[in-house]
Chain A
Amino acid sequence: MMIKTGGQIVCEALVREGVDVIFGLPGGAILPLYSTLGSYPELRHVLVRHEEGASLAADGYARASGKVGVCMATSGPGATNLITGLATAMMDSAPIVAITGQVNRGAIGSDAFQETDITGATLPVTKHNYLVMDTRDLAATIKEAFHIARTGRPGPVLIDIPRDVQAAEIEFDEAEYDKPVSLRGYNPPTTADEDAVAAAAKLINEAERPVILAGHGVIISRAFDELRELAENAQIPVVTTLLGISSFPDDHVLSTGFPGMHGMAYASLALDQADLIVNIGARFDDRITGDIKRFAVNSKKIHIDIDPAEIGKNIKVEAPVLGDVRAVLNQLNPMVNQTTHTEWVQHIEHLKAEHPSLRIRESDDLLGQQVVKAISDATKGDALVVTGVGQHQMWAAQHYQFKNANSWFTSGGLGTMGYEVPAAMGAQFAHPDKEVWTFAGDGGIQMTLSEFATIAENKLPVKIAILNNNMLGMITQWQDMVFNKNFYANSYTGNPDFVKLAEAYAIKGIRVTRENELEGAIQEARDHPGPVVLDFVIRAEENVFPMIPSGQSVEQLIEESL
Chain B
Amino acid sequence: MAEIMANGLARRTLVALVENKPGVLARIASLFRRRGINIASLAVGASEHSDLSRMTFVAEGDPSTVGHIAKHLDKLIEVVEVSDITDNNVVWRELAMVRVRATQESRARVIQLANIFRVSIVDVGAEAVTMEITGDTSKIDSMITLMQEFGVEQVMRTGRVAMLRSALSQGGEDGEYGDQISSNINTLEGFDSGSV
Contacts and interface: CB of A to CB of B under 8 A. Distances in A.
The contact size tier of chain B is: 20 to 34
Given A186-B77, A478-B196, A550-B194, A313 B184 contact: yes
B191 A314 contact: yes
Contact of A286 (B68, B183, B184, B192): B192
B71 A309 contact: yes
A292 B77 CA distance: 31
A271 B163 CA distance: 44
Given A123-B27, A314-B191, A292 B186 contact: yes
Nearest to B19: A185
A317 interface: yes
Contacts of A131: 23
A425 B18 CA distance: 40
Contacts of A312: 68, 180-185
B77 A291 contact: no
Given A185-B76, A307-B75, A551-B192, A120 B182 contact: no
B184 to A, nearest CB: 5
A313 B18 CA distance: 24
Interface in B1-53: 18-19, 23, 26-27, 30, 34
B132 interface: no
Contacts of A292: 185-186, 191
A356 interface: no
Given A185-B80, A286-B191, A550-B194, A308 B185 contact: no
Interface string B64-88: 0000100110111111110000000
A309 B75 contact: yes
Given A185-B80, A286-B193, A551-B194, A318 B68 contact: no
Interface string B170-196: 000000001011111110001111111
A320 B182 CA distance: 8
A201 interface: no
Contacts of A287: 193
A307 B68 CA distance: 13
Contact of B72 (A186, A309, A474): A309
The 3 closest A-B pairs by CB, nearest first: A551-B192, A309-B71, A312-B181
Interface of B: 18-19, 23, 26-27, 30, 34, 68, 71-72, 74-81, 178, 180-186, 190-196
Given A307-B75, A415-B195, 10 more contacts: A123-B30, A127-B77, A131-B23, A286-B192, A309-B74, A312-B180, A314-B186, A315-B185, A318-B182, A474-B196
